[in-house]
Amino acid sequence: MKRRKWTGAQKLQIVLDGLSGKRAISDICTHYEISQGQYYKWRDKLLSQGATIFDSAPDQKVERLEAKVKGLTGLVGQLTVALKKTEKELEWLE
């Protein structure tokens, strides 16, 4: 079988097609030119991780990015204060 990259939406559609029960898994895999093993890996991943889309807590990546933004905002504030102090010192020297 050909080696291809599938988008998340394509994988979801293939798995949902299989879960609908309207066609045999072998027919679906033949139609999409994937192995049955690949189909079952995608299905198992969907079934094991599908509940996470309904969780209200943000994922770890979002939390990390928010913490980074907070740190950078604080750094910008500190640099702004230091710049103002430096500007006042230069005015005083003139």
Same domain, 7 and 46: yes
Question: pLDDT confidence of 56, banded at 50, 70, 90?
Answer: low
Same domain, 46 and 62: no
Q: Which residues contact 2 (CB under 8 A, 6 or more apart)?
A: 33
Asked if the model's pLDDT at residue 57 lies above 70, the reply is no
Torsion sign over Cα 73, 79, 82, 87: negative
Same domain, 50 and 5: yes
Q: Are 17 and 42 in contact (CB under 8 A)?
A: no
Q: Provide the residue range defining the domain that includes 50.
A: 1-56
Same domain, 31 and 14: yes
H or E element, residue 48: helix 36-49
Q: What is the pLDDT of residue 25?
A: 96
DSSP state letter for 33: T
Residue range 66-72: mean pLDDT, rounded: 95
Same domain, 66 and 77: yes
Question: pLDDT confidence of 85, banded at 50, 70, 90?
Answer: very high
Cα-to-chain-centroid distance, residue 14: 20
